[in-house]
Structure formats: C-alpha cells, structure tokens
Amino acid sequence: MIFKVMIEQKLKDNDVKPTAVRINVLSVLMESATALSAKELENRLELVDKVTLYRTLKTFEDKKLIHTIQDGTNELKYASCEEGCECAPQDQHVHFHCQKCDETYCFTEAHIPSVNIPKNFTPSSVSMVFQGICENCQ
C-alpha cells in the first residue's frame, strides 16, 4: 500500500494524473530489475489495451519518468528513471543486453563518456549498449 502511495505522489510531482493504469505501469517498471518491452508490459498487466499502454509510456517518457533503450533486439525497451534523472546526456548511462536470456539491464552508475562531435552536428540521443552474457546466465 505504501508503494502505491509513493507511485501516486511521484506521478503528481511530475504533473501526471495518477490513474489506475498509470500507477500499474509505473509500478511494474519500477519493480523490474530489467528493462521491459511494451509486449512484456502487456503480458504483466491485466486489462490494458495497447493504445492506452503506448500513450502512457509516451507520457512517462515526456515527463522523464522512464527512458527508452534500443538494445539491438528490434524492440524498444522501457525502464524507470532514477530519482533526479533529467535524461540529459550527462545523466545517460550504459546498458547491457544479455544474448542468452534476452534481458536488458541499466547500469546507472556507468555513465556514457563525453565525445566531441563537430559543432555542425546536433545529436538528438545517445546510447551505449554492451552485448554479452549476464551474471545470471554465466
């Protein structure tokens, strides 16, 4: 019950109306040790249609509650942001995709290094994903 109240407050603090669907989606993402695809979220949530789920994920991404990961599987993955994350280049972290179990992990302590890009190039996102075998599959 305390966790639900915390989720509701987190949504309110980020100017997101705390509906039942939003509370459930954010709860699943925050409780997950790995990033999840929309399909995996659908399977974990009861009675949530795809349109509502995708709108919820887009709202969360816009409000910096979650971030997306392209891990090379052709499925966008979603993970909850750490407290205080701005999803800005200095806050972006490394991800690890296990080629055996297909899970994707956020390494929030390992930041993506700064790279000098010519000034007439404007990146819109940056990503660093390591591929290999996770500790659970070793």
User: Residue ranges of the domains in the chain?
Assistant: 2-132
Distance in angstroms between the alpha carbons of the first and the last residue of the chain: 36
Supply the pLDDT for residue 91: 58
- Inform me whether the pLDDT recorded for 90 exceeds 70: no
Would you tell me which CATH number, out of the four given (1.10.10.10, 1.10.238.10, 3.40.50.300, 3.30.310.220), belongs to the domain 2-132?
Answer: 1.10.10.10
pTM above 0.85, yes or no: no
Specify the DSSP element, H or E, that contains 27.
helix 20-31
Q: Is 12 helix (H, G, I), strand (E, B) or coil?
A: helix
- Rounded to whole angstroms, the Cα distance separating 138 from 126 reads 29
* SS3 call for 93: strand
